[in-house]
A and B are shown apart, each in its own frame.
Chain A
Amino acid sequence: MKMICGLVAPDQGTIRVGGHSVSEEPQIVRRHIGYLPENNPLYEDMPVLDHLRFSAKVQGVPEGRIRERIAEMVRVCGLDAEKHKRVGELSKGYRQRVGLAQAMVHDPEVLILDEPTTGLDPNQIVEIRELIKEVGRAKTVIFSTHILPEVEATCDRILIISKGRIVAHGSPADLRRQAQGRAVLNVRVEEIDASIVHSALAGLPGVELVETRAQGGFSLQCAPDMPVARSVSTLCAERHWPLTELHSPGTRLEDIFRDLTLN
């Protein structure tokens, strides 16, 4: 992220934003980028409006449009109540909004946010996330985070980077599909002797492994692309077994992440 913004030079290769090389034409690239650094550094002693005006001027927003852009940012980021305070007096959530506002004030096509929701309380997280989603409708937003449910809630495309390498890449659905070798099915049958059920389940086509779960019932490891759930329900219907649970817990992004980064 720092390389895209021209803060650190790439060791090798080139980065292009909108066709402009980051190392050859940093000034042009930076005009198209809005960057919110990690920890959101801001000038503490500046009032919010002054800070936005400064950012707009430095980013080359034409003089005539500055007022209008600032008013727009104050509205979008919900800063109206706090706009005359100094940045240093604001709560963390409002600081984050100022950070976003100053990154977006010049209407960049690409917005780069480095862990925008760390250190916020749950309500603030939801608000910032909504804000990011709204902005993301019209612009490209790249953001980094360690909170995986947040990724599922906001992103269209995910990159998982481990030790400097991209280990997975795609939409949330893509990532699930890649990890589908591990599809799991939870089954619970009541009143029937466990060993009978165990052997019956193990005999079904597509079932690779049957484990007894600690809390009762079984957990089946299934081969991908086999209608195992259907065969389980047919089996129980034929034998008149009371089937009380049949569901796939799905593969959580956390599992995929752990899988990819630990190896």
Chain B
Amino acid sequence: MGKTWTIARKELVSFFDSLMAYILLVVFLGISGFFTWWYGADVFMAGQAELASFFSIAYWTLFFFIPALTMRTLAEERRTGTLDLLLTKAVTDRQVVMGKFIANLVLIALALLCTLPYYLTVVSIGDVDHGAVICGYLALLLMSASYIGLGILASSLTQNQLVAFLIALLIGTCFHLLFGVVASAATGAVGEVLGFLGMGTHFDSMSRGVVDSRDVIYFLSLAAAGLMGAELRLAKRGLK
């Protein structure tokens, strides 16, 4: 665990050193703030003290931001050769992948933490369903974990960051949109399976304040699948 942390900390430091983190925070807060408070179906339209509109906006902004964040994790290291350096140290492939995963998740958690003023504002307006807000944040965090896992998998497949970004977006689109759309058209068992695979149903039920273990398991298993895929890709060298 110590080495996983070492790698995660190094990643985080380099996020903040390379301005990547600040740009992400500013743009994420800018976009989600704009749509939450100013434009379209904003908080004031709801006529209720709740953050549902923010959650549904963050649902989309994170979908685009996370691939941009994860695209460099392994692709860049492979391109510059530092992956060889890292993999010949006394660390397991899993520690490398997990370290990167944790670093990305912490950064996203930080971004979400920065939206705390939204919550405080809404609290000052009226009675807030605190449970629903906590669930909403939890849903965002879990969804981020899934996309980070898939993004790291995409990043492990190539040494080109742009390709990694697009692959991550492609995989993401399947879960974010396609499965849901197809599921609503299909009927019977196929529709049910696809409906379950779609991100939307799980996210919606959770951000409304219903924590179902099936939803949690869904998010976590997506993340785990991505990370295991990335680890397999690294281990493709035929070693234990």
Contacts and interface: CB of A to CB of B under 8 A. Distances in A.
B90 interface: yes
B233 interface: no
Contacts of B92: 27
A46 B14 contact: yes
Contact of B80 (A7, A41, A58): A41
Given A7-B88, A23-B238, 8 more contacts: A8-B238, A26-B239, A35-B85, A37-B88, A42-B82, A43-B10, A43-B82, A54-B6
Interface string B67-102: 000000000000011101111111110000000000
A35 B88 contact: yes
A41 B78 CA distance: 10
Contacts of B89: 30, 55, 58-59
B189 to A, nearest CB: 42
Contacts of B237: 6-9
Nearest to A6: B239
A166 B84 CA distance: 25
Contacts of B124: none
A57 B6 contact: yes
Contact of B85 (A2, A26, A41, A60): A41
A9 B88 contact: no
Nearest to A99: B85
Contact of B10 (A9, A27, A54, A60): A54
Interface in B146-203: none
B7 interface: yes
Which of B2, B82, B88 has the most chain A CB within a 10 Å cutoff?
B88
Contacts of A6: 87-88, 237, 239
Is chain B's interface secondary structure helix, strand, loop, or mixed overall? helix
B17 interface: yes
A184 interface: no
Given A41-B80, A60-B90, A9 B238 contact: yes
Interface string A6-43: 11110000000000000110110011010101010111
A50 B88 CA distance: 19
Given A57-B6, A59-B90, A43 B14 contact: yes
Interface string A143-170: 0000000000000000000000000000
Contacts of B86: 58
Nearest to A5: B88
Given A9-B239, A58-B3, A39 B81 contact: yes
Given A7-B88, A23-B239, A58-B91, A41 B3 contact: no
B18 interface: yes
Contacts of B17: 45
A55 to B, nearest CB: 7
Nearest to B238: A9
Contacts of A27: 90-92
B214 interface: no
Contact of B14 (A7, A8, A45): A45
Nearest to B2: A57
Can you list the 9 inter-chain pairs with the closest CB atoms, starting with the nearest? A9-B238, A41-B81, A5-B88, A31-B90, A57-B6, A30-B90, A58-B89, A35-B88, A41-B82
A103 B75 CA distance: 23
Contacts of A30: 88-90
Nearest to B79: A41
A60 B92 CA distance: 12
A46 B6 CA distance: 14
A37 B90 contact: no
Nearest to A35: B88
B87 A7 contact: yes
A117 B91 CA distance: 27
Contacts of B81: 37, 39, 41
A57 B86 CA distance: 12
